[in-house]
Copies of this chain bind each other. A is one copy, B any other.
C-alpha cells in the first residue's frame, strides 16, 4: 500500500520496548479505566503484551508499582499558587485538593497510608505546604511534623471513604442502627451523643479537622522547642 520500508515486517509498531515510564503509564491507564484492584502484575503484563516476570526488571513489587501510580496522580493536586487568601485558607485549599484527588480513586488512599510516597509530585506538595506554614510563622519542627499529620489525616479520611466494592450505604446504615439501638446501660456516652456521632458531611468534618490541626500545631510546641 505504501512504500515505507519494513512495513511488511511489522504491520504496527507492536511491543514497544519496556521502560519504567511506559510501565507506570500503562498502570495509570488501567487504574483510570478499571480501578486500582486491576493494577496487578499479571493484568499489566497482559496489557504490555509480555509475561509478568518481565516487569520485575523495572519494578520491585506490586507495592512499589502502586506508589509510582499514586505519585503520578498527585500531579493533579492544585497547589493554589495564585491564591490571595490567608495562609490558613490557602493551606486548607491545598489539602482539600489533595483529598479530592484521593477521593477520585480511594483505593489509592489505602495504599498511600502504608507506602509513604517520595515521588516528585509528593515532594512538590510537601514543599508547598511547608511554604505556607512558614508564611504562618509556624516554627521549623512543628511545621515538619505538622505536614505529616495534615497529610496523614487527609489520606486516612479518603481511605475511610473507600470501600473495596460493595455498598457504603449499607455500612452507614448498619452503623446508624447500631448507634440508635445502643445499650444505654453499657455505653451511656455513646447513647447520649448518638446524633452528633452521625452528624456532619465528610467535607464539613474534614474542614473542621484541618482547622483543629492547623490551630493546634500553630499553638502547641513540639517537645524540646
A residues near B (Cβ < 8 Å) are 63, 110, 113-114, 116, 118, 123-124, 126-128, 130-131, 134, 140-141, 143-149, 152-153, 155-157, 159-160, 162-164, 171, 174-175, 178, 182, 186-190, 192-193, 196-197, 199-200, 204-205, 207-209, 211-213, 215-217, 219-220, 222-223
Residues of B within 8 A of A182 (CB): 123
Q: Give the residue of B63, B116, B128, B156 whose beta carbon is less than 8 angstroms from that of A164.
A: B63
Q: What 11 additional pairs, Cβ within 8 angstroms, besides A114-B162, A145-B205, A215-B220? A: A110-B110, A127-B186, A130-B189, A130-B190, A130-B193, A134-B189, A141-B199, A145-B200, A148-B197, A211-B220, A216-B220
Q: Give the residue of B157, B196, B216 whose beta carbon is less than 8 angstroms from that of A140.
A: B196
Residues of B within 8 A of A190 (CB): 123, 126-127, 130
The answer to whether residues A113 and B110 also contact, given A130-B190, A152-B156 and a CB cut-off of 8 A, is: yes
The interface centre, meaning the residue of A143, A153, A216 with most chain B CB atoms within 10 A of its CB, is A216
* Contact A160 B113, beta carbon cutoff 8 Å: yes
* Contact B160 A114, beta carbon cutoff 8 Å: yes
* Contact A116 B175, beta carbon cutoff 8 Å: yes
* Contact A208 B193, beta carbon cutoff 8 Å: no
Give A190 to B132 CA distance when docked, in angstroms.
12
* Contact B220 A212, beta carbon cutoff 8 Å: yes
Give A187 to B175 CA distance when docked, in angstroms.
44
